[in-house]
Copies of this chain bind each other. A is one copy, B any other.
Amino acid sequence: MDNQDTPKPAPPERRPTLSQVAAAAGVSEITASRALRGGGLVAEATAQKVRVAARALNYVPNRLAGALAGGPSRQVGVILPSLSNSVFADVLKGLEDRLEDAGYQPVLGISNYDPAREERLIQNLLSWRPAGVVIAPSDMTEASRALLVQAGLPVVEIMDVDATPTDMAVGISHLSAGRAMAHYLLGRGYKRFAYLGHEIDSDLRAVARLDGFRAALGEAGQSLCQCLTLEGPSSVNLGRSGLARLLAEADVAPDLVYFSNDDMAVGGVFHCMTAGISVPRDLALAGFNGLEIGQALPVPLTTIASNRAAIGTEAARHLLARFNGETPSRSHDVGFALIPGKTA
């Protein structure tokens, strides 16, 4: 649109800046700044003029400059291990919703359960000087932790409250969740417990649940008669084929299979439907997460609702509180609820 070969001061159609707005409104730059940010430091009439000028010029503030100049950053780094699992999508949704309403933008990174990638992500996100960080850690390296500490900003570790957080934690106790399920199932009279899980190394929370489950069984004088963990991320298909394999390999048939999560368990239900195994009469199944799909099954799944949206919103709340100079609780357990269902 504009002439492009102006010899020196060639401004190749720059976006309007605050000083242009200020000029248009006939005030100083700083007054325009204050007017647009609100806060009542500017006479209403002046503020009005500035707003009009800004709109007329289609002014979009440059937050890079704002944050660099010392204003608050309004970005929040978010690191999740995966998005394939709808669990994290739910958390992210809750988180984004709250942050957005408070004027913050999440900057996202997916670690794929890879601690090295996680570390790189932290480094990258930190280079944007976010106001805070939310992370669902997957076996954080020492270096990762050090980076976060050194950055000196609010950090919320989500999903898990079993470990002591670097700064703050919001989640549930997966250890307790495993125990709770074990107690429930013991109460229902099951005897031969099997476990079917996905790639166990990377999903520490699944491991914690299994640990809790085992511990509770142990305390009741029972133990797992079979424990199969498969390669690859959790999925319905993996649960389906996995259950087939588990049953084929069984020395004694289990009367209950505890799955690492609902995706897997739903797959298990499908296998039973296909193989003509009556649930829970011939075989009982239990999962974890309380996904909608599990509850929509013809036979609703016995599982534990993990309150994912609450984790997201609570994480946001904690962060925002800290931005406001408050001191929220160091560790917040959003709790879980056992859903009896009909599969166990």
Contact = CB atoms under 8 A, between A and B. Distances in A.
Nearest to A295: B237
Interface in A80-108: 82-84, 86, 89-90, 92-93, 96-97, 100, 103, 105-108
Most buried by B among A86, A108, A292: A108
A108 B109 contact: no
A274 B298 CA distance: 5
A332 B109 CA distance: 26
A305 interface: no
Closest 8 CB pairs of A and B: A236-B296, A273-B298, A89-B89, A83-B93, A83-B89, A63-B127, A274-B298, A64-B68
A105 B108 contact: yes
B121 A100 contact: yes
Interface string A60-73: 11111101100001
Contacts of A128: 63-64, 75, 105
Given A61-B127, A62-B127, A64-B64, A237 B292 contact: yes
Nearest to A12: B152
A150 interface: yes
B64 A129 contact: yes
A322 to B, nearest CB: 17
A164 interface: no
B296 A123 contact: no
Contact of A292 (B68, B97, B236): B236
B235 A292 contact: yes
A23 interface: no
Interface residues of A, number: 60
Interface string A272-285: 01100000000000
Interface string A288-302: 000011011110000
25 contacts: A13-B152, A60-B123, A60-B147, A63-B128, A75-B128, A83-B90, A83-B92, A83-B93, A84-B90, A96-B109, A96-B110, A100-B109, A103-B124, A105-B108, A105-B125, A106-B108, A107-B107, A108-B108, A236-B293, A237-B295, A237-B296, A266-B296, A270-B298, A274-B298, A293-B293
A186 interface: no
A212 interface: no
Contacts of A96: 83, 108-110
